[in-house]
Amino acid sequence: MKNKLLLIILFIPFVLFSQSEISNNLKTISGFINYKNKTLPGAQVKVKNTNRNTKTNFKGFYKIKAKAGETLIFNYIGLEEKTILIEDVTSTLNIDLKIKNDIPKLNINKDLKLSGSTIGGLQREFEVITFDVKYINKYAPTITEAILEKVPFFFTKQNKFGENLIYLKGKELQGPVLWEIDGIGYDIPFPIFMYEIKTILILNPKGSSCVIKVGTNINYNKVKDLDYNNYYFSNEDYYNYDAIPYENQKIYEPEYLDGFKNISNPNEALKTYINQYSENKNKINYHFNVLNYFQKNYKDKNILLKVLSDYEKIVTHNPEDLKGIAYKYQELNENKKALALYRKIANIRPNYAQSYRDLANSFYDLKNYKNFWFIYNNYFNKGFKIEDNDIGDIITSEIISNYKNDEKNNHKYQRIKINNPTKITEADVRLVFEWNTSEAEFLLDFVNPYLLTYKAENSIEEYNQLILDQKKKGYTSKEVIIENLMKGDWFVNFTYLGNKHYKPTILKVTSYYNWGKPNQTKKINVFEFTVENVKTQLLKLEGK
């Protein structure tokens, strides 16, 4: 009996310690659940695979305990369920629920990447592909689905009218493939029965759009009772210049900025900032609001660095806020300061792929090529791999480019050689988009000189598996390569959809012109977004 009591007494501290440790890992997640901009009482919130659950109160507010790595499920009868993976920084999650959409989306050959593909990857080299129609799925509901089943380098996206458009991987920015049915060209195929098809030919001329040529035993060009006008793009399918330039965004200006309104001297502005600092420093987005005001009105780098330095001291352990500051340092060409922050972030998030890439890239900006290769050798030695996702595309591009540069300069570091036949190593433009929080949701629009828009949506509604991959692998970035910037104006537009909490999303866009060529140049622009559902023009590129 004494032995049993002794075992129980010895076991109690261990149990208490274990429970305390688990409890310490739990944190409070809170927020509001909304439907059509109104709070939703009685919505259910639960932690997946646990018995922890709650409901929103009459104000639509909830509070629940969860820990990093767990999944919260939000639902309400008749509305689409939403799942969110909890991260180290998660504390506030304001959720918008929507009506269930029972219309199935066609996701054949959709990669786990923003937009469903590597935008601007090396296209499949072919001029003509002929199909034996005997092997086409005769039970496919549409010719689009029948072709997608057989052609892995095609994928589909829905336009705003619910029509499935086919794109050729690598030629996404040129627009969807064109159709020719019985000798007549169309933008969208009209309904054709599978048994009517005699021939299918896919043409991929260099420098032009891909064309799918279909021959039928009906000879539709002689059929007169079909309204063929429905199968051409209308004005609504083209860009109508409805994006607002970023600098013209109307944003709320907090009262503390009024103290700077009549000050034209940057030194006086700095004194005012110091005097009001203790009162305002903990207000949401105080530092970035002041920074943006100073950057617009004074253009004095020293006072900008003062604000950023103060902000660093406030958010010393928050990797998302630190990343936003690092973006601004890079925009100001303060690469050593950016490197110091990326080191901190890597220590906080050692299992995030983005941490290694950002750190390596910072060393390269400082021409510290030895440490660039050291970071990536360490990355692979720890068991990380280059995966077929967005961060994998970026890492591959930069390793190949820097390997090539080191070869030219005859550097003797322990380099890494990657052979990737689908990777474009020289291009007119390479764009890298990075955002500081994994909860950010947005639409990216790429408009070519023909005013055709290619959309990439980063949202739970559009592609929840992608958001989960970003969180699990630890990356928030996307590469877009435009190999040939055809003559005319290109636009890059951004529609912010929110980030589920009260801080803004900081977006960094790095534009590489003449990527991989001797005359390569680089420009960094940093944008801050709080206003939702407003299409904003980020960049205008001029092809020659």
What is 457-483 written as a DSSP string? EESHHHHHHHHHHHHHHT--EEEEEES
Return the half-sphere exposure (C-beta side, CA atoms, 13 A cut-off) of residue 44.
14
Burial class (CB in 10 A: 0-12, 13-18, 19+), 341: buried
The residue ranges of DSSP E strands in 52-144, in sequence order, are 53-55, 61-66, 71-75, 82-85, 95-96, 128-131
CA distances from 415 to 5, 359, 402, 419 (A): 62, 16, 9, 13
Q: Going residue by residue through the chain (544 aa), what tens digit of pLDDT does each one get?
A: 444 433 333 333 433 333 333 345 899 999 999 999 999 999 999 999 999 999 999 999 999 999 999 999 999 999 999 999 999 999 999 999 999 876 556 555 567 888 888 888 776 667 788 888 888 898 999 999 999 998 888 988 888 888 889 999 888 999 999 999 999 999 999 999 999 999 999 998 877 889 999 999 998 988 877 788 889 998 888 999 999 999 888 778 899 999 999 999 999 999 999 999 999 999 999 999 999 999 999 989 999 999 999 999 999 999 999 999 999 999 999 999 999 999 999 999 999 999 999 999 999 999 999 999 999 999 999 999 999 999 999 999 999 999 988 777 666 778 888 888 778 899 999 999 999 999 999 999 999 999 999 999 999 988 899 999 999 999 999 999 999 899 999 999 999 999 999 999 999 999 999 999 999 999 999 999 999 999 999 999 998 7
Q: How many other CB atoms sit within 10 Å of the CB of residue 135?
A: 9
DSSP class of residue 190 equals P
CA distances from 301 to 252, 270, 296 (A): 24, 12, 11
- CATH 1.25.40.10 in the chain is located at 244-543
DSSP class of residue 117 equals S
Q: How many other CB atoms sit within 10 Å of the CB of residue 332?
A: 17
Q: Which two tokens stand for residue 98?
A: 């929507």
DSSP class of residue 12 equals H
Fold of 20-96: Immunoglobulin-like (2.60.40)
User: What single letter denotes the amino acid at residue 501?
Assistant: H
Answer yes or no: are the C-beta atoms of 91 and 367 closer than 8 Å: no
Sign of CA dihedral 118, 338, 530, 101: positive
Answer yes or no: are the C-beta atoms of 363 and 371 closer than 8 Å: yes
Sign of CA dihedral 39, 44, 46, 51: positive
- CATH 2.60.40.10 in the chain is located at 20-96
CA distances from 419 to 122, 397, 424 (A): 13, 11, 11
The Cα 543–Cα 455 span in angstroms is: 20
The Cα 401–Cα 387 span in angstroms is: 18
Answer yes or no: are the C-beta atoms of 396 and 379 closer than 8 Å: no
- Domain 244-543, CATH homologous superfamily name and number: Tetratricopeptide repeat domain (1.25.40.10)
The Cα 459–Cα 359 span in angstroms is: 27
What is the SS3 assignment for 368?
coil
The Cα 193–Cα 99 span in angstroms is: 33
Answer yes or no: are the C-beta atoms of 454 and 173 closer than 8 Å: yes
- CATH 2.170.130 in the chain is located at 114-237
Fold of 114-237: Ferric Hydroxamate Uptake Protein; Chain A, domain 1 (2.170.130)
Q: How many other CB atoms sit within 10 Å of the CB of residue 306?
A: 17
Answer yes or no: are the C-beta atoms of 63 and 29 closer than 8 Å: yes
**Nearest one of 350, 530, 328, 329 to 440, comparing CA atoms:** 530
